[in-house]
A and B are shown apart, each in its own frame.
Chain A
Amino acid sequence: MITAEQKPLNEIINYISPYDRIILVGCNECVTVCAAGGRKEVGLLASAINLHFLQQGRTIEIKEITLERQCDPEYVEELVSEIDRVDAVVSMACGCGVQSVAERYKETPVFPAVNTKFMGASISQGIWAERCQGCGDCLLGITGGICPVARCSKHLLNGPCGGTSNGMCEIAPDVDCAWCLIWERLKALGMEKRYEEIMEAKDFRPAGGGGPRKIVREDLLL
Chain B
Amino acid sequence: MENFEPEIVAFCCHYCAYTAADMAGSKRISYPANVKIIRVPCTGKVDAIHIMKAFEKGADGVYVAGCLEGDCHFKNGNTRASHRVEHVQKILEDLGWEKGRVAMINMSAGMGERFAGTALEFTEKIKALGPSPIKITNTDKHHKTIG
Pair A48/B49 contact, Cβ less than 8 Å: no
Contacts of B133 in A (CB 8 A): 51, 55
CA distance A48 to B134 in the complex (A): 12
Contacts of B121 in A (CB 8 A): none
A159 interface contact, C-beta 8 A: no
Pair B91/A44 contact, Cβ less than 8 Å: yes
Beyond the given pairs A55-B95, A55-B137, 6 more chain A to chain B contacts, judged by CB atoms under 8 angstroms and listed by A's residue number, are A9-B91, A9-B94, A44-B91, A48-B52, A48-B94, A57-B138
A47 in contact with B49 given A8-B94, A9-B95, A55-B95 (CB within 8 Å)? yes
Contacts of A9 in B (CB 8 A): 91, 94-95
B55 interface contact, C-beta 8 A: yes
Contacts of A55 in B (CB 8 A): 95-96, 133-134, 137
B124 interface contact, C-beta 8 A: no
Closest to A48 in B: B91
B interface footprint on A37-69 (CB within 8 Å = 1, 0 otherwise): 000100110011011101111000000000000
CA distance A66 to B122 in the complex (A): 37
B residues near A (Cβ < 8 Å) are 47-49, 52-53, 55-56, 91, 94-97, 133-134, 137-138, 141
A54 in contact with B56 given A43-B49, A44-B49 (CB within 8 Å)? yes
Closest to B54 in A: A47
Shortest CB distance A108–B (Å): 26
- Which residue of B48, B49, B91, B138 contacts A54 across the interface (Cβ within 8 Å)? B138
CA distance A43 to B52 in the complex (A): 9
CA distance A51 to B92 in the complex (A): 9
Pair B95/A52 contact, Cβ less than 8 Å: yes
Closest to B51 in A: A47
Closest to A9 in B: B94
Number of interface residues of A (CB under 8 A): 15
Pair A51/B56 contact, Cβ less than 8 Å: yes
Pair B138/A44 contact, Cβ less than 8 Å: no
CA distance A52 to B95 in the complex (A): 6
CA distance A181 to B58 in the complex (A): 53
Contacts of A8 in B (CB 8 A): 94
CA distance A181 to B24 in the complex (A): 58
A17 interface contact, C-beta 8 A: no
**SS of A interface (majority):** helix
Pair A47/B56 contact, Cβ less than 8 Å: yes
Closest to A54 in B: B134
Closest to B47 in A: A40
A51 in contact with B49 given A56-B137, A57-B137, A57-B138 (CB within 8 Å)? no
Closest to A52 in B: B95
A124 interface contact, C-beta 8 A: no
10 A-B pairs with CB atoms under 8 Å apart are A10-B94, A40-B49, A44-B48, A47-B49, A48-B52, A48-B94, A52-B95, A54-B134, A54-B138, A55-B134
Contacts of A40 in B (CB 8 A): 47, 49
A51 in contact with B95 given A40-B49, A43-B49, A44-B49 (CB within 8 Å)? yes
CA distance A172 to B57 in the complex (A): 45
A51 in contact with B138 given A8-B94, A9-B94, A9-B95 (CB within 8 Å)? no
Contacts of A10 in B (CB 8 A): 94
CA distance A48 to B138 in the complex (A): 17
Contacts of B48 in A (CB 8 A): 44
Contacts of B49 in A (CB 8 A): 40, 43-44, 47
